[in-house]
Amino acid sequence: MSAVSAIFKTEPVGVTGQPWYANCVVELSTTQVPSQLLKGLLSVESDMGRIRKKSWEARIIDLDILLFGQEIIESNNLIIPHPLLHKRRFVLEPLVQLAPDRVHPVFKLTIRELLNKLPIPPCGGTVEVLKEES
């Protein structure tokens, strides 16, 4: 792992009546291509007990590939950059800790600019720092 953001306590978005989530962003280097990385992430989810039944359900873990360098990928099971990254405060808050000046390959704005464009009151869920990484 190259870097890890703080852990954020975040309100579920798109559903009600679920417990809040713990979210963070990890930056890492890999020799894998995106499809190999996705396969590994799904394996970790499965090993931890995640069973995918329907969208937006509560889950024990959810691992996503947000960015992969400046690549733009659209396939049946993988879209990079993550298609909702720019709308989700719970993604942008931790991501801005690691890569505030990284440019989104589609929107050509930095991560900080994307975060600053979110409307107030907060869009994309309420976000609170749960644990700072040391």
SS3 sequence of 9-42: EECCCCCCCCCCEEECCEECCCCCCHHHHHHHHH
Host domain of residue 12: 3-131
Q: Which residues are catalytic?
A: 50, 59, 62, 64
What pLDDT is stored for residue 54 in this prediction? Answer: 74
- Domain count for the chain: 1
What pLDDT is stored for residue 121 in this prediction? Answer: 57
What pLDDT is stored for residue 122 in this prediction? Answer: 57
Q: How many residues does the chain have?
A: 134
Which domain CATH number covers 106? 3.30.70.560
Kindly state the greatest CA–CA separation across the chain: 40
pTM: 0.86
